[in-house]
Structures are given as structure tokens and as C-alpha cells.
Amino acid sequence: MKNIAASIAMSTLAATGVEAQEERRRVAPPAVYDVAPGLGHFTDDVLFGEVWERAELKPRDRSLVTVSAIVSTGKTAQIGGHVRRALDNGVKSEEIGELITQLAFYTGWPNAISAVAEVKEVFDERNIAPVVSSDAARIELEATAEAARTATVNTTVAPTAAALADLTNRVLFGELWQRPDLSARDRSLITMAALIAVGQPEQLPFHANRAMDNGLSNTEASEVITHVAFYAGWPRAMSAVPVLKRVFEARAD
Amino acid sequence: MKNIAASIAMSTLAATGVEAQEERRRVAPPAVYDVAPGLGHFTDDVLFGEVWERAELKPRDRSLVTVSAIVSTGKTAQIGGHVRRALDNGVKSEEIGELITQLAFYTGWPNAISAVAEVKEVFDERNIAPVVSSDAARIELEATAEAARTATVNTTVAPTAAALADLTNRVLFGELWQRPDLSARDRSLITMAALIAVGQPEQLPFHANRAMDNGLSNTEASEVITHVAFYAGWPRAMSAVPVLKRVFEARAD
Amino acid sequence: MKNIAASIAMSTLAATGVEAQEERRRVAPPAVYDVAPGLGHFTDDVLFGEVWERAELKPRDRSLVTVSAIVSTGKTAQIGGHVRRALDNGVKSEEIGELITQLAFYTGWPNAISAVAEVKEVFDERNIAPVVSSDAARIELEATAEAARTATVNTTVAPTAAALADLTNRVLFGELWQRPDLSARDRSLITMAALIAVGQPEQLPFHANRAMDNGLSNTEASEVITHVAFYAGWPRAMSAVPVLKRVFEARAD
């Protein structure tokens, strides 16, 4: 990959001088350089200097993926900063609310409730009005795919855990996935990032296919894995690679 | 499943008026409705309005399962609230102490030590006396099952990690599992919930069988998975379903 | 295994009297005994009285393994205490910085950034100077092994996630693993502990082999699993046993 960071740094230099460049390059707080100078270097030169600048995924998508990975893995201390960045990158407050709601189901209530407290502080600080549930039309799920999904749940889950199957069909797919304030594509993108981050790639194919049916490209899907590598660790990303490979192959057929 | 929440709401309405109904329905703090109104709805109408009300698992068991899932996944911020609810639902202080001790071994010391600090605050607030180690008789493990378990550990673990095998036999099964202040059935129930919550379903069959040998019904075991879905996320629950299915099938033979 | 704790207690008793013995035995804070007396017993008599005293792994290595497990699993509240112990056990401040940098890549940036804040407090409290990036020579990776690793990444990762493959080759192995302030053996030891702790044993063989190529013995590798059992829970350790068994067998051939 080309070093996008270097060219950005160069153009920033030309435009606004050395100090702005230095400031731009320092996302890592000073304590990072005092305790782990290598981490400071990788944060500023690789993660923010290169990865966040890659064109393969838009900043708004990177923010959705990052906030999803952080909320999913319960990294409360990092939520505020990344929600601020997400708002700056064009994610709307109601989309953040829906992201949290989605992740309550996909990674557990405690993560979502803890995220709410952090996000509330950011909303208050920025005078963002309370989110109101949309009265827009529900997002319709594609009928054939939905029938197949229901049949699978009824066959594989219901005989062992009838209530879980019922809640999956009635609440997750009958309500949550149809909520209008987050696009189908973004809801699937968030879910993909969460599954990779928490180490559950078994359930990635369903959601990756869904995301790609709703417009996520192969390039973007790959880049999600690369981005999550930084926020949930390389091993989680590496375990997702063969799973996504099979999704790509099946869709190419 | 029937909507138990609706009928409860109806009867509460008849008995105590609209305000009490509103109050009853609002477990989610106001910030949840301000940031993620969907999460408020699902918390109050589905999780507390419906799932916690299902008769398939008693409130005391739901509390044991919830506290276990939360402690296991290190969700410190939620421990205090759920320990208060557990005490209200009839879990004794010494049982909470044993739950934490059990989870130190099954999900790591840091979770247990962090849980202690949260629980201590609740005990102080409620003037609960320090827990004293019971001098009741140790719980005897069933001799044949225990001999088989020891043999398996000695064959599969000892040649690679002798100390781990020794500690498993001598400390976990020679001491921890025999401690008297938590019933054998509850100790297994807690361990099942922890294994599902942390995504280690490989080791679920042993503990599910143990729980069922000690009185947990199929219905209750299924409901544990459903309940944990809300506290550790749907994917963890879904991964546990086929594992529990095989346990049910093996026991039916 | 012999009960080393008992003999230590005996000799301490002889040397410094009953009070010193009591003090020595009590690593667990009083709240642990008030809430979960069993946990107090296991902490003081088994974890610190026996496991930390076992000669199979040096105290310095146990500290590296412990801090790695705790940082990897995001147990922020326990970082300060164990970093103090690590410094007392001979781990240098720059090694702690490198440990955190390593774990940023292997378990995600949020864990590393949260660890920095905790470690900074310890460094300030002990007047430890800011860590400076070493100008020592980079650690050279063994050329044949590195060529094989690169080929594997290019074949298995690059076709699905080109950027991830590039970053793995260029940044992880081209920079991170060559950084001089942590020995090759210690870097691999830390990575092993992290993979076991976060439940990713699939990627353990590569790093276990690397650690053993750089001097880690079979006995030490086994003991890492036993030690991590206490800090990330028994199931994570048990899942690592068959993986390490295969590594031992392959190396014996």
C-alpha cells in the first residue's frame, strides 16, 4: 500500500506550516509518548496517519466501525472520544442511538447501558437534543431472505430454545432490524464490526452477505477487517479473514 | 410466547393507576431514552416487561444468571444494581460471595476482585454483615463421575500441563466445588451462564450435565441461554444452542 | 505438586514470627474476606501462597504474563497493582512500554491506551523517567522463518484483505517485532499470554514456537498456561492445552 500519510503530511506542510503538521500528527496524548513511545509512533504515523486516511472506507464508515468495536468490547473509556469523532465525521445522533440499541442485542445490555452514559455526556456538551424515535416507515426486509432466515431459526434454534427463537424472529427481525433511523447497510456494517471485534466470526457470513446485499462493496468489507484489527487486535481480524474469503467466493459464483 | 408484560401492565393499571404502571415499566434510566429511545423500549417492554417475567426461570435464578454473566464479562458498572436485585430476589449474601469465588476460577481473578469492591458497597449500604465461611459439611461429589473427571484431566491435561491438572483436581474439585454455601445446582447454573457469556461453549456440556444431574430442568437450561442472550449478546447465546442440543439428546438416550 | 505455600509459611514463621507470616499471607484486601472469604483463602493460600512461588516460572516472567493477561482483557483496575509488582520483580519501565505497544496490535488500541493512563500514575509515583525509544540495533528476525511467514500471509490473507496483509508484513513484522527494548523471547511470551487470555488459541502455535525458538522451555510454556488460568479463567487455559500439546509434539519430532 502507498504511504498516504506521507503525502498528506507533505500537503499539510505546504499549506499550513510545520506546527500544524505536528499538531495534526499528534492524536496520541503526551502520556502515550512518556510510557510507550512506540505506541505513540504507531498511533500517530500508522493508525491515524495512514489507516484512517485510506480511501477504501469513508471516515464516516470508519467511525461507525470504530464505535461499534469499542462499544462491543466494553471499552468505556474510549467511547466519548470516538463518538465526538463520529459526529464530526457525519454520523447523526439518532444513528448513534440506533448503533447502541443494535449492539445491546448483539453484544449484551451492559455494553449498551454503559455506552449511553458516555454518549449522554457528549450530547450534553454539544447541546444535542434528546433523540426521538422516528415515525418514518419501517425498513422492509427482503421477503425471500427473511423467510429463509425464519425457517432456519425455527429448525435449528426453536427445538432447543423456543423463547430465544421467538425473540429472534419477533423482536430482532420483527422490530430491531426494521427500525428506520439507521440504514440497512449501516446496521449490517455495525453488526459485522461487532462480530469481528468480539471474536464470533461464525455468525459473520449472514451479516456480511446482508451488508453486501445492501451496498457494501468487497473493498469496504475487507477494509472493515483491517480497521477492526487496530481496535480489537490482530488475532480477531485474522480469524475473520477466511470467513470473509468464503463469503466473497460464494457471492462470486 | 404470550406477552406477559401486557397482562401485568393491565393488572397493575387496575390496581394502582397509570402512574404506577409507568413507574413499573421504566427500569431504564432517563438517559437511555434521551440517547437511544429504542433501547429504552426494548429494556422496559421486552427485557424487564417480558423476559424477566417469564415463568420458565425463577427470578432468583435469573439474578444468579445475570450477576454471573455480568461479573464474568467484567461489566463492573452493572454489578451493584444487579446485586441489589439479586438480594431482593432471595439470593443470600454468602451465595454472592461464593458466586464471586467460583467465577474467579472460571473467568479470572480480576473480574472477581473488581466484583468484590462493588458488592462491598451494596453490603455496606444495606448493613449486611461480613460473610463468614460456613462450617457446614462439604458437598460430596458423586464418586463415579468424579473418578471419570479426574481420569480425563490426568489423561488430557496432565501430560502437557501437570500443574494445571493438579490444581484442577486438588483445588477446583477438591475444594471449590465442595464448598457448602452454594448448592451444587446453583454452582453449576452460575458456571453454565459464565461459559455462555464468555464464549466458551466447548466446556458447557460438562457443566450443563452437572447442573441437570443436580435438578436443573431442560426448560430451565434453555431459558438460561435466552436470558444470557440479553446480558452477553445474541451471538454468544446462538453458539450455545447446538451445544445444549447435544446435551439434551445425549440425556434423552 | 507439593504444597510450597505451607513450607514457605513455616520458614517465614521461624524467621520473623507469626505477624509477619500473617502479613505475608494476606495479599487479598480485607474487603475480599468480608464479601467472599473463599476468594480470600484461594488468593492468599493458592494464588500467591503457591502458584506465584512455583519455581517453574521466574517471578519476572510471571509478572510479564500477568500484566499481559490483564492488559489484554482490559482489566484496568488491576493494572496499577500488577505493574508495581512487575517493577519490583525486575521488569524495566521500557519493557512495560513495549509490552503495551505489543498488546495494542495483538488485543486492540483501547486496551493499550487505557493501560498507559494506569502505568503513567505508577511511573509518576515512583519518579520513573519518561521512556525513550531505544537507538539500539533492531532485533533481526530469522530470515528463513520470516520468509515462510511472509509467504503464508501473502497467500492466505492478501487475496481477501490486502491492506491487512501489507500492515502485517510491513508494520508488525517489519517494525514492531524488531523493536529492541524487549527481547524476542519476552515479546513472544507476552503474546502467548495474551492469545490464551483473550481466547484465541488458533494463533498460539506460531507464537509458542517463536518463544521456544528464542529460549522458552517446555516447562515454562506449560506454566504460562497454568498462570493465565488464574488471571483469565480456567476455560481459556483448558482450551490452550491441546494446542500447546501439538506444539510440543511437533517440536519433539
pLDDT tens by residue, A62-89: 999 999 999 999 999 999 999 999 999 9
Q: For residues C87-126, b (16+ Cβ closer than 10 Å) or e, as one string?
A: bebebebbbbbbbbbbbbbbbbbbbbbbbbbbbbebbeee
pLDDT category of residue C97 using cuts at 50, 70 and 90:
very high
C133: contact with A, CB 8 A cutoff: yes
Q: Please report the pLDDT score of residue C58 as a whole number.
A: 98
Residue B194: CA atoms inside 13 Å, Cβ hemisphere, count? Answer: 31
**pTM (predicted TM-score):** 0.92
Residue range A125-152: average pLDDT?
94
Residue A240 near residue A196, CB atoms below 8 Å? yes
Q: Does C138 touch chain A (CB under 8 A)?
A: no
What pLDDT shows up at residue B137? 92
pLDDT of residue B253: 83
Report whether C57 contacts C224 (CB < 8 A).
yes
- Work out the pLDDT band at A25, boundaries 50, 70, 90: low
> Are A234 and C176 a contacting pair at CB < 8 A?
no
Q: How far is CA C132 from CA A32, A40, B159, C138, in A?
A: 11, 11, 44, 15
Model pLDDT, residue A150: 98
Q: Is the pLDDT of residue A32 over 60?
A: yes
Q: Does C67 touch chain B if contact means CB atoms closer than 8 Å? A: no
Quick one: average pLDDT of A97-126?
Answer: 98
Q: Provide, as residue numbers in chain A, all residues whose Cβ is less than 8 Å from the Cβ of C176.
A: 38, 42
Please give, rounded to a whole number of angstroms, the shortest distance from the CA of A150 to a CA of chain B: 14
Mean pLDDT of the C182-186 span: 96
Determine the straight-line distance between the first and last CA of chain C, rounded to whole angstroms: 28
Nearest Cα residue in chain B from A75: B75
Q: What is the mean pLDDT of residues C226-235?
A: 98
A163 at interface of B, judged by CB pairs closer than 8 A: yes
pLDDT at position B25 is 66
**Residues in chain B, pLDDT under 70:** 1-25
Are the beta carbons of B120 and C31 separated by less than 8 Å? yes
- Mean pLDDT computed over every residue of chain C: 91
Chain-chain contact of A31 with C168 (C-beta, under 8 angstroms): no
Distance from CA of C43 to the nearest CA of A (A): 26
